[in-house]
């Protein structure tokens, strides 16, 4: 019998530039445009066709092009510059903002839990703003030197890629990813053994492998259940972000919450703060209670108070429908064997997340669970904090909404990720090479008046031109896919006006985000859009969950 096997031959990276392999394995490159330029200079076409994924890029690039780069003087100059920046960054632990500001800090790490992380489009473990914020959170923590670790799930199919069909409807495409194309390595313990955790789930063991992602100086750990020792249906738990039915959702949230705490322990960490970014990870509080009851002899009530002292919760969703709830029967099914471990009666356990609807229906709310098990809770803007206090006022009956213990911390962005390289260089020229480290200094921004308006406008127009070109190429590819005529393809060149005021709306498309709000006064909108002297154009971007037809 003949056997056929697949052999993958990868090029050998020349010793002179071997450091690009280490670069490819740390997400630091995603916010350093010089590092990105390094890969692009080896093979520009391949770099972009691989979605700027350096792991895939280094597997597919021609050996000749690697050899040429290694002998190119300009490439080597850039290579040395980037590798020095990377080395200095990774070894700067004693000179970071955190060490300067909190030099006496000797407590445990901050453990940050989130269902999704948007670090880069080549690593599709995110669906929208929650993940993008989480990704920026890790990058900023790395820059500031904050002792943070992060926990999430590793999805075999990530989140879907969307395409619009010829009738304008969104179509969802799920890819089965090859993990060898991702910047991940198996997490290992002090003995060098790969780390696995197991969870009691419906009378059997659920196993998860722990993977590590380096995000600058921060480690992100992702749990994966696609293992031979699991039942087929359990291997699907980490198949898709926000995929499957309500039982799949509760399994995913048990995995990240309970399994995540177990992973943190096996990794050898002892966090002083446990941060839940949205209610998906709220079950972590239950596992921490179990630890204190079973391993340290506390009562259920004592353990709750101890857990609250170290838990922080961030809520993002301003409408009830966006917060996960489970039926009481489902909680009974999955936690019937768990609450006895806490020394709790069934009703006392349920009361931690109990939500009573006007219909007299009782549900178990992950947001309420997170609120009740956290010493500090916050919304993501001043207004959202106000909305959240009103929305969750019923959790604290008898007090005014102003007194509800939900504060706010306004969302921020990681500047190096979002600011175009042209603008980064522009600001270096006029604000100083160290301007990025002084963005909270009012004196820095007084220098903004030194920037010539004409130069700033010129750069702005260049970037707008690139955006319009990108949009045209995307629409042209879409029309080619639909088999449209030559005339229809040529029409694409008329889309977009470089002189028009451009308003962008880029969101995950859910009805509560109100993408259609701008159409509430059509006559006024017509006047704005059709003014020949002051042209205005709108750009909408985003995608809806496959099950969200209105979105």
pLDDT of residue 118: 97
CB atoms near residue 294 (< 10 Å): 13
Average pLDDT value for residue range 54-65: 97
Q: What pLDDT band is residue 93 in, cutting at 50, 70 and 90?
A: confident
Average pLDDT value for residue range 480-494: 89
Tell me the two tokens of residue 358.
Answer: 């006007």
What is the SS3 assignment for 291?
Answer: helix
Query: What is the C-alpha separation between 193 and 451, in angstroms, rounded?
Result: 55
Place of tokens 């980490």: 238
Query: What is the C-alpha separation between 23 and 536, in angstroms, rounded?
Result: 42
Q: In Å, how far are 75, 138, 216, 418 from 31, measured between CA atoms?
A: 20, 12, 10, 8
Question: Between 437 and 326, whose confidence is greater?
Answer: 326
Query: What is the C-alpha separation between 344 and 373, in angstroms, rounded?
Result: 15
- Dump strand ranges (E) for 84-241: 110-113, 148-153, 161-164, 170-173, 184-186, 196-201, 204-215, 218-224
Q: What pLDDT band is residue 2 in, cutting at 50, 70 and 90?
A: low
Is pLDDT above 60 for 386?
yes
- Please choose, from the candidates 488, 492, 495, the residue with its C-alpha nearest in 3D space to the C-alpha of residue 538: 495
Strands 311-314 and 273-277: parallel
**DSSP letter string over 453-477?**
HHHHHHHHHHHHHHHHHHHHHHHHH
Average pLDDT value for residue range 156-183: 89
Query: What is the C-alpha separation between 91 and 79, in angstroms, rounded?
Result: 18
Average pLDDT value for residue range 161-174: 85
CA angle at 148 for the pair 255 and 23, rounded to the nearest 5°: 95
231 phi and psi, to 5 degrees?
-65, 150
409 phi and psi, to 5 degrees?
-135, 115
What is the SS3 assignment for 406?
Answer: coil
Is pLDDT above 80 for 466?
yes
257 phi and psi, to 5 degrees?
-75, -60
Place of tokens 């009103």: 390
Place of tokens 């990868």: 10
Whether residue 142 contacts residue 29, with contact meaning beta carbons closer than 8 Å, is answered with: no
Average pLDDT value for residue range 53-75: 97
Strand partners, 194: 188
Average pLDDT value for residue range 65-77: 97
Query: What is the C-alpha separation between 116 and 126, in angstroms, rounded?
Result: 5
Average pLDDT of the chain is 93
**DSSP letter string over 9-62?**
--PPPPGGGTHHHHHHTBGGGGG-HHHHHHHHHH-HHHHHHTTT-HHHHHHHS-
**Helix axes of 33-42 and 73-90: crossing angle, nearest 10 degrees:** 150
- Please choose, from the candidates 549, 500, 490, the residue with its C-alpha nearest in 3D space to the C-alpha of residue 528: 500
Strands 362-365 and 325-327: antiparallel
The pLDDT tens digits of the residues spanning 318-364 come to: 877 778 999 999 999 999 999 999 999 999 999 999 998 877 789 99
pLDDT of residue 488: 87
Strands 161-164 and 110-113: unpaired
Is pLDDT above 70 for 7?
no
CA torsion sign, 31 to 33 to 39 to 44? positive
Tell me the two tokens of residue 490.
Answer: 């040529």
128 phi and psi, to 5 degrees?
-165, -150
Query: What is the C-alpha separation between 381 and 392, in angstroms, rounded?
Result: 16
Average pLDDT value for residue range 522-544: 92
The pLDDT tens digits of the residues spanning 489-524 come to: 888 899 999 999 999 998 888 888 888 899 999 999
CA angle at 226 for the pair 220 and 228, rounded to the nearest 5°: 130
The pLDDT tens digits of the residues spanning 279-299 come to: 999 999 999 999 999 999 999
Query: What is the C-alpha separation between 457 and 435, in angstroms, rounded?
Result: 20
Average pLDDT value for residue range 171-199: 94
């Amino acid at each position: 019998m003949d056997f056929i096997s697949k052999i993958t031959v990868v090029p050998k990276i020349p010793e002179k530039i071997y450091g690009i392999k280490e670069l490819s394995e740390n997400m630091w490159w995603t916010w350093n445009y010089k590092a990105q330029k390094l890969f692009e200079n080896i093979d520009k076409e391949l770099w972009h066709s691989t979605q700027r994924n350096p792991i895939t890029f280094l597997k597919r690039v021609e050996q000749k092009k690697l050899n040429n780069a290694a002998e190119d003087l300009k490439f080597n100059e850039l290579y040395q510059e980037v590798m020095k920046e990377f080395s200095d960054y990774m070894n700067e632990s004693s000179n970071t903002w955190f060490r300067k500001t909190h030099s006496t800090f000797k407590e445990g790490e901050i453990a940050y839990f989130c269902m999704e992380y948007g670090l880069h489009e080549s690593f599709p473990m995110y669906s929208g703003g929650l993940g993008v914020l989480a990704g920026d959170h890790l990058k900023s923590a790395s820059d500031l030197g904050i002792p943070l670790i992060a926990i999430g799930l590793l999805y075999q199919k990530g989140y879907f890629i969307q395409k619009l069909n010829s009738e304008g409807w969104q179509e969802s495409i799920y890819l089965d990813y090859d993990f060898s194309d991702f910047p991940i390595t198996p997490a290992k313990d002090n003995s060098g053994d790969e780390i696995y955790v197991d969870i009691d789930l419906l009378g059997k063991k659920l196993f998860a492998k722990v993977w590590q992602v380096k995000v600058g100086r921060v480690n992100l750990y992702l749990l994966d259940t696609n293992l031979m020792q699991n039942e087929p249906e359990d291997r699907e738990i980490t198949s898709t972000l926000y995929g499957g039915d309500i039982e799949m959702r509760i399994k995913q949230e048990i995995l990240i919450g309970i399994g995540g705490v177990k992973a943190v322990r096996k990794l050898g960490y002892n966090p002083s703060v446990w941060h839940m970014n949205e209610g998906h990870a709220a079950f972590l509080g239950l596992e921490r209670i179990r630890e204190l009851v079973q391993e340290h002899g506390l009562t259920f009530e004592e353990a709750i108070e101890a857990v609250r002292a170290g838990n922080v919760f961030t809520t993002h969703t301003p409408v009830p429908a966006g917060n996960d709830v489970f039926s009481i029967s489902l909680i009974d099914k999955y936690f019937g064997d768990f609450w006895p471990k806490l020394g709790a009666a069934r009703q006392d356990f349920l009361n931690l997340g109990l939500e009573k609807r006007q219909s007299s229906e009782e549900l178990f709310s992950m947001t309420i669970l997170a609120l009740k098990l956290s010493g500090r809770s916050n919304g993501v803007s001043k207004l959202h904090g106000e909305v959240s206090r009103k929305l969750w006022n019923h959790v604290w009956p008898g007090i005014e909404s102003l007194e509800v213990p939900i504060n706010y911390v306004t969302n921020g962005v990681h500047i190096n990720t979002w600011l175009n390289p042209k603008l980064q260089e522009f600001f270096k020229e006029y604000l100083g090479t160290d301007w990025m480290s002084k963005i909270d200094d009012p004196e820095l921004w007084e220098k903004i008046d030194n920037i010539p308006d004409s130069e700033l406008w010129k750069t702005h127009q260049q970037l707008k031109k690139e955006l319009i070109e990108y949009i045209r190429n995307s629409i042209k590819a879409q029309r080619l896919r639909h088999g449209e005529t030559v005339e229809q393809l040529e029409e694409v060149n008329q889309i977009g006006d470089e002189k028009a005021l451009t308003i962008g709306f880029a969101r995950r498309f859910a009805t509560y985000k109100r993408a259609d709000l701008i159409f509430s006064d059509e006559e006024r909108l017509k006047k704005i859009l059709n003014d020949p002297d002051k042209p205005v154009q709108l750009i909408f971007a985003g995608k809806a969950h496959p099950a969200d037809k209105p979105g």
